[in-house]
Structure 1
Amino acid sequence: MIEAVGLTKRYGAKTAVHNLTFQVRPGAVTGFLGPNGSGKSTTMRMILGLDNPTAGRVTISGHPFHKLPNAPRQVGALLDAKAVHGGRSARHHLLSLAQLSGIPARRVDEVLGVVGLQDVAKRRTKGFSLGMGQRLGIAAALLGDPQVLLFDEPVNGLDPEGILWVRNLMKRLAAEGRTVFVSSHLMSEMALTADHLIVIGRGQLMADMSVKDFISANSADFARVRTPDGEPQAREKLTGALVEAGANVLPEPDGALRVTGLPLPRISDVAHGADVRLWELSPHQASLEEAYMRMTQGAVDYRSTTDQRSGFLPPPAPGAWQPPAPVQLGWAETAYPVLPGERPNPYATAPGGATAYGAPAAAAPGPAPAGTAPQGAPAAPAQAPAAAAPAPEAPTAPAPDLTKRDSEDAR
């Protein structure tokens, strides 16, 4: 078992990890999630004794890593698949690790077979692809047959077959009673692999719970309702009837309605009473990705901006294809609005008292009155004159493509 208590790491004036306390228990795959720069890599390095904590402690099976007897036989890790001497073959790389730890040479051939590299065992690693390097790193982690395993982005560069193999490997290792700690940005893969989640943001703990509880705590179920595409008046009529019945209605980008506050049978009864045909009435349960995005939106350091060079593009030729105008959503610049019934998230608060979802912290989104723009959406532009004046010359100094919020990278 891995146990961290008050774990803190500072680099000068920068705090990369602050007061982290959690446990990674055996018999389950524990996912380690967080935005870039949140301190995940720093935390894993402290677990493995590669960085010393400024405060607090972290132990493996009750001991700091450097006090574990023959640590490679108890702990296996993949942090950087490129940390390999390019002039060595895959077998010689693993053999050198085995000799340093007193592991029999026959184990090298065993793990090469486990990860599927037996046919390229004599090739130099500098010619390996990213996926092959990942397999070699996993082989090195498994070399000592350890009870505790840490993996940082283990499926990076793998093809679909390799991703499935890693997923099944993690589950099998956990089923054997081992402690498996996996850091990843692939929410879809974590949803299929992890049993428990530890989520951090800007170095602080945000969640420590099962995947099911995490999704339930950071999302609200809703119903998708769609009326015939060629009958916009029916959509407006249904919206009014649902609001009158006590529902909260938000428009979806594809023209459907997102309805909360009423069960599906009641929505059907309201539509029937309003004499409106339905093309779709389906329940929606949030995915791990949606729940993760809701929780961590206020802890993201890097956000993209509008391309300042877009004004330099030549005008399209007459009759050329033009991209469709963006659909105005019922919330401002976000795909994850706060929904009724959703548990408040104290970490997702932006400066100035506004939530990370673009609405005041105390205000719940509601349907916009008919004929008015949704709250937070830009007002409709005025009618353009027949002959538009030439556009002013665009500025010559380009703005950066990325903006960094409040802090430096927390490694």
Structure 2
Amino acid sequence: MRRHITDVWPVYVPGARCEARTSKEKPLQAPDWQAAARHPWDTTLSGLRADALDCLQTTVALVADHAHGPGTHLALGCRWRFPEADANGAARIQMPVQDRFAEAMRLLGLRAERIEASDGPAVRDQLAGGQPLYVIADAFLLPWLPYAGHAHMSHSFLIEPFGERFLVVDAYHNDTQWGPARPGAWTLSPTAVDQVIAGDVTTMDVRPATGPLWLDRSKVLADNATLARAAKPATDAYTERLRERLAEPGVIDDVVLDIWLLSRERSLHAAWLADHPAARQVSARAEAWQRLSTQSYLVARRMRRGGRPNPVLIDDLARLLHEDMALAIELAEPSTVDDAVDAVVLAELCATLGLDEAVVRATDTLRSLPGFDSFRLVDAIDRIEQRLDTALPDDLAVDDLRDVAGLCRLFRSAKHQAKAVSTG
């Protein structure tokens, strides 16, 4: 019997706080499970931005890219999420998992049906038809994960028949206290399948529907800006509540999870906007969230060892959220600012080198321009900085000093950053 995914949903939070326990299960031994050297999903697996996906997204991303082509999964990063009020009026980061999954299905052009197969033998029977299954099982029992034998938490993967064995494909990428989890594929014997798919498991048939949703990027950015403009009250309520309750049991773990999820979402958003004029600026925001995620781990560890709560973590969280709001609003604005920046860069470069604009536009690299050298580049940058009243950052990317387009990107990013700081 199959049911639509909205009918039944397990209690499941990607990357959720986990509790270590002892297990009576006998550990699986080779050759019950072993790495798969070659498999049909290899190319798709290697093309995922797995480090920017959470445990729910990894498997649907794998199915979407396999069905619709490389990069399809990046649509999962189109939305920039901010704190929202839940049904009880409390501000929170994490949206209901059922809603999150439904959004992923819509964005990626997939459909999902729940399958009544709650143990290994039932799953093996379902796999006899040849269709891969999306499985959510206990990470404690999954020998390819560092969580195996250490912690109980829900985890998703794909499984399909593979000769006389079964192929598991898991795109999860994360670092844990027990070691790294990295995307890969493994073959399991029937005995191994029965052991890893045990207890509270969920199985689904996830497959292509009509195709991935075509996204109008300008409209998506405008919708993000609308969310950002409305997000300040919920964001302030959210961070204030965390400041007041940080010393309470379990709150720091919720903070760590929220920051981890936001860090992944910001990284995926940067990948989705990789060809946008403000791509470097968005990537810088993602890097800031990654640093905050590391900071949150340190704070949590010290608190578990008896240390006092560190409100600086919440201050930094609030600051990043407000900076993201400013940037989300700015990304939706017309590109007149970027066009003006490009015009200044081009004009001052021409003036410094004494060249016509047509010559500069027709040249692939700066070094190919007549009369160009490092000193002339420094002179041009000085002139542009004065005209724009904006200084470039000290950590310049060498690649952005290769051509006119790269130089424009640097100054756009610096101008946007200066504006975000001034409006923050």
Shorter-chain TM band = under 0.3
More strand by share: 1
More helix by share: 2
| Higher Cα radius of gyration | 1
Q: State the TM-score, normalized to the length of structure 1.
A: 0.24
